[in-house]
Structure 1
Amino acid sequence: MSRPRRHGQRRGRRDIALGVLGALLAFGVCEAVSRSGIVRRDYLPPASEVVRRAVELAGDSAFLDGVGATLRAWALGLALACLIAVPVGLLLGSVPVVDAAVRAIVEFLRPLPSVALIPLVSLLLGSGTGTEVALVTYAAVWPILFNTMYGLGESEPLAKETLRAFGFGRAAVLLRVDLAGAAPFVAAGIRISAAVALIVAVATELLSGFGEGLGIFIAQAQLATDGTRDVLAGVVWAGALGLAVNGVLVWGERRLFPWTPERRGARP
């Protein structure tokens, strides 16, 4: 086993240990603050009760159906964002004239928060999964789009010139060199968009109040007389889903792109 690889594995184990330590520290602080009476239990239940409630929800079929609905909207929205953002990013990154023509529109649309578009999209698509998927797609497009464009700028000029010298056309160079070089950047954009998409999916359910999902569970729990524990348990589920998704995507990046310095664990 090479030295950089051993170093990367040690660093990975250290990061995991530090992450677990930080989580345990936060758990202990929340538990102590609640049980000491500094904050009323109505506002901040003990962390142990919240975690216990979150575990109990794993056996609630209705709750799991809601989580499944959220994940379906998340996955569909993220997939649509990839199908839109990668080709558009390749076009804008490889054709400067097109990039210049639409740059003002892109910069106008990018800062618009997805949740602010709930009324408009609801009028167009109705109150259902379609609205949630559309908003998730809109929010998830931008990181993938700009990472794709940035990745194209990092492609190897010598490799492109070599292909052109052997008679390959512009499309072949784009697919064989530019897209291959941009792939790690696209993957990073997808990982960022996955977290954004999950946030928007839950927020859309929470703010719109229609359909089913994890956000609907949290919205209904906050209306209950003693619903703070359920609200926080739903938040724990949202955080756990985000952590799991990020972990899977990081693992996939390491498997698909082991040649990048950060994946090898090498220091610059």
Structure 2
Amino acid sequence: MMSTISPARRERVPLARAKLLKISRHAAGVAGFLLAWQILGMWGLVKWLPPAADTLARTAQLAVDPDFLEDLGGTLITAAIGLPLAILVAVPIGLLLGTVPVVEEMTRVFVEFLRPIPSVALIPLALFFFQPEINAKIALIVFSASWPILINTLYGVRDVDPVGKETLRSFGFGVGAVIWRVSLPSAAPFIATGVRLAASITLILAISVEYIVGGSSGIGGFLIEASTGIGMDAMIDVVAVLLWAGAIGIVVNTLLMRAERRLFRWREA
């Protein structure tokens, strides 16, 4: 008797099994990590490490804590403002440097000089020039998040097939049309990767500025208040806040990766 299963369904079955196996491995890894954490904390094998169960319970409590949610919203708003501004700054500059080699050669020294500077070291300078404090945080986010976007845009433009550009030029299209119709679409996957990398930087830098400045709103400010406590309870609060920061980073990275795969399926093919 012949099977009635369609070829498309036959292909989906192995894919579903592979996906389930991948999820199972991830779950096993997380469970193993939490078990080891619980043992180390409960038995006191690592000094000041709170048990995983107590920390996760506190992490869940923060989800309904109005003070924490207000600080969380402040950090996310700052990051949500800074990242699009970084894109608006870095993408045009990357397109310019990748399209005009002379400009790239003239500015290479400045790019290589500014890129390694730690953004945290610029906090005093940013606070001096930008007031109120949220403007300083946004300025630092734009500075630090622009680099991965700019570099990825630059290399994306360099990776464009020259045949496509020459074809458009042979039909009489100008430089602007070549950039818009060929260079930018071809470099888009590289730009998306740069944006995904920059998203993590925005969150790290926003929390760092809030923590270093002190007395400010945001997750960094909440972290300062949590660390002023005494004993294991203070450590539980600190680790719980860090878990929230890590969870937000995972969610943002996952969403951006899925958006990349959906928008640029042709690249994977």
TM > 0.5 = yes
Equivalent residue, structure 1, for 2:4 = none
Instruction: Give, in angstroms, the shift of residue 123 of structure 1.
Output: 1.0
Write out aligned runs for 1:25-104 (5 A). 25-40=32-47, 43-104=48-109
- What CA distance in whole angstroms lies between the structure 2 residues aligned with 1:5 and 1:137? 43
Q: Is the 8 A contact 1:127 1:211 kept in 2?
A: no
Instruction: Give, in angstroms, the shift of residue 4 of structure 1.
Output: 8.8
Q: Which amino acid aligns with 1:254?
A: R
- What CA distance in whole angstroms lies between the structure 1 residues aligned with 2:154 and 2:20? 33
1:173 aligns with 2:178: yes
- What CA distance in whole angstroms lies between the structure 1 residues aligned with 2:240 and 2:163? 54
- Which moved further from structure 2: 209-218 or 5-14? 5-14
Instruction: Give, in angstroms, the shift of residue 185 of structure 1.
Output: 0.3
When residues 103 and 259 of structure 1 are mapped into structure 2, their CA distance, relative to the original with a 3 A threshold, is same
Q: Is the 8 A contact 1:69 1:212 kept in 2?
A: yes
1:106 aligns with 2:115: no
Q: Which amino acid aligns with 2:85?
A: L
Structure 2, unpaired ranges of 5+ = 1-7
Q: Which amino acid aligns with 2:63?
A: A
- What CA distance in whole angstroms lies between the structure 2 residues aligned with 1:9 and 1:259? 22
1:9-52 deviations in whole A, cap 9, x for unaligned?
66555443333222221111110111122134xx1110111111
Q: Report the TM-score when normalising by structure 1.
A: 0.91
Equivalent residue, structure 2, for 1:123 = 128
Write out aligned runs for 1:193-232 (5 A). 193-226=198-231, 227-232=234-239
Equivalent residue, structure 2, for 1:133 = 138
- 3-state SS of paired residue (1:260): helix
Instruction: Give, in angstroms, the shift of residue 7 of structure 1.
Output: 7.0
**RMSD, aligned α-carbons:** 1.9
1:156 aligns with 2:151: no
Structure label with greater radius of gyration: 2
Structure 1, unpaired ranges of 5+ = none
When residues 116 and 256 of structure 1 are mapped into structure 2, their CA distance, relative to the original with a 3 A threshold, is same
- What CA distance in whole angstroms lies between the structure 1 residues aligned with 2:195 and 2:99? 20
Q: Find the partner of 2:262 among 222, 247, 255.
A: 255
Q: Is the 8 A contact 1:132 1:201 kept in 2?
A: yes
Q: Indicate the percent of aligned positions where both proteins have the same amino acid.
A: 43
Instruction: Give, in angstroms, the shift of residue 8 of structure 1.
Output: 6.6
- What CA distance in whole angstroms lies between the structure 2 residues aligned with 1:74 and 1:259? 30
Detail structure 1 runs of 4+ shifted over 6 Å in the superposition: 2-9
- What CA distance in whole angstroms lies between the structure 2 residues aligned with 1:222 and 1:173? 55
Q: Is the 8 A contact 1:128 1:210 kept in 2?
A: no
Q: Which amino acid aligns with 1:236?
A: L
1:100-155 deviations in whole A, cap 9, x for unaligned?
11111111110011111111111111351111111111110000000000101111
- What CA distance in whole angstroms lies between the structure 1 residues aligned with 2:258 and 2:50? 35
Q: Which amino acid aligns with 2:146?
A: V
When residues 57 and 105 of structure 1 are mapped into structure 2, their CA distance, relative to the original with a 3 A threshold, is same
- What CA distance in whole angstroms lies between the structure 1 residues aligned with 2:241 and 2:264? 34
When residues 157 and 3 of structure 1 are mapped into structure 2, their CA distance, relative to the original with a 3 A threshold, is farther
- What CA distance in whole angstroms lies between the structure 2 residues aligned with 1:105 and 1:4? 52
- Which moved further from structure 2: 2-11 or 191-200? 2-11
State how many pairs are aligned: 260
- What CA distance in whole angstroms lies between the structure 2 residues aligned with 1:29 and 1:60? 28
- Which moved further from structure 2: 21-30 or 92-101? 21-30
- Which moved further from structure 2: 160-169 or 236-245? 160-169
1:139-191 deviations in whole A, cap 9, x for unaligned?
10000000000101111222112111211111101110010000000000000
- What CA distance in whole angstroms lies between the structure 1 residues aligned with 2:9 and 2:199? 33
Q: Which has the higher contact order (CA 8 A, sep 6+)?
A: 1
Q: Which amino acid aligns with 1:51?
A: L
